[in-house]
Amino acid sequence: MSPMEAYKQDLARTLAQTGALFFDTGLVLKDGRPTPYFVNMAMFSTGRLSLKLGTFFAGMMVARGLVEKTDIILGPSYKGSALALATSIALWQDHGHDLLYDYDRKEAKTHGEASGSGSLFVNRTFFDGCRIFVVDDVATSMGTKFELLEKLQGAAKADGMTVHVAGIGIGVDREQTTAVYDKADNAMLDQKGRDAIGDFEEKTGIPVFSVGGIREIVSFLDSEQVPVVIGGKHRPMDRETRQAFDRYLETYGADRSPEP
């Protein structure tokens, strides 16, 4: 296995140091399944950490050759809006690339500069043939990403232009499948659902990139014995915690090849 890129190592260490990545017993996901860990990107809530998060996305975009394929960085409201700004600042500050950024509204604006036509995107940066790279903190069902694509195409059609989504970037890929539910709408344990990201790529033809996959992040923190929040305390990962994580992905993990 090739060594992790510097920006991924920095992400892993920052997730551990801030407690944005933590392990505990009794954790449950929104879909009703138990999980041995959470990733809470809302912990990046200061100016320093917001910019740092932007540097991770910028580093990923540069390493993957995505900057040359992008005109506008778009962040879905609400969390994605700050992320798009932080990423665009980091691209300029660290790499000398000055890209446009934009974010959407929950409801169209119908006054002021919108001139009554209704505007779903705040900065109105789109132009005919523009290439858009979407940034967001997480991806689960990908439902919000499908909604954003519909919003993009609707706005482009209304303005008589075409837009191209070059890709979608997420912070941490949990690398897991969706939940499977019984007739009573309860999550069925030990059952694998669909690979939501894989399905999205297949249906839309739009590639999804992650700053870091949870497998490589946890493996790095374990091998380097970086202290992580476990049961409320910062300490190096122990064998029991690592085994619980590995069992979790064996049960619910997506059968997907790691990104190059």
| Residue 249 located in a structural domain | no
Tens of pLDDT along 118-146?
Answer: 478 888 899 999 999 999 987 766 878 88
Pairing state of beta strands 208-213 and 72-75? unpaired
* 3-class DSSP state of 238: coil
- Beta strand 163-173 with 233-235 is unpaired
Number of domains comprising the chain: 1
Report which DSSP code applies to 68. Answer: G
Reply yes or no on whether the pLDDT at 114 is more than 50. no
> Is there a domain that residue 161 lies in?
yes
Residue 243 resides in a domain: no
| 12 domain-assigned | yes
Q: Is residue 247 part of a domain?
A: no
For residue 75, what pLDDT band results from cuts at 50, 70 and 90?
very high
Q: Are strands 100-109 and 228-230 parallel, antiparallel or unpaired?
A: unpaired
Show the domain range for 58.
Answer: 6-237
Domain of residue 93, CATH code: 3.40.50.2020
Average pLDDT over residues 8-29: 96
Give the whole-number percent of the chain exceeding pLDDT 90.
Answer: 72
Higher pLDDT, 159 or 220: 220
Distances (CA, A) of 109 to 64, 80, 115, 219: 35, 19, 9, 46
The answer to which of 66-70, 199-203, 231-235 has the lowest mean pLDDT is 199-203
Given a cut of 50, whether residue 15 has pLDDT beyond it is yes
Measured in residues, the chain has a length of: 260
**Mean predicted lDDT score pLDDT of the chain:** 90
- Tell me the mean pLDDT in the region 248-254: 93
Is 140 within 8 Å of 196 (Cβ atoms)? yes
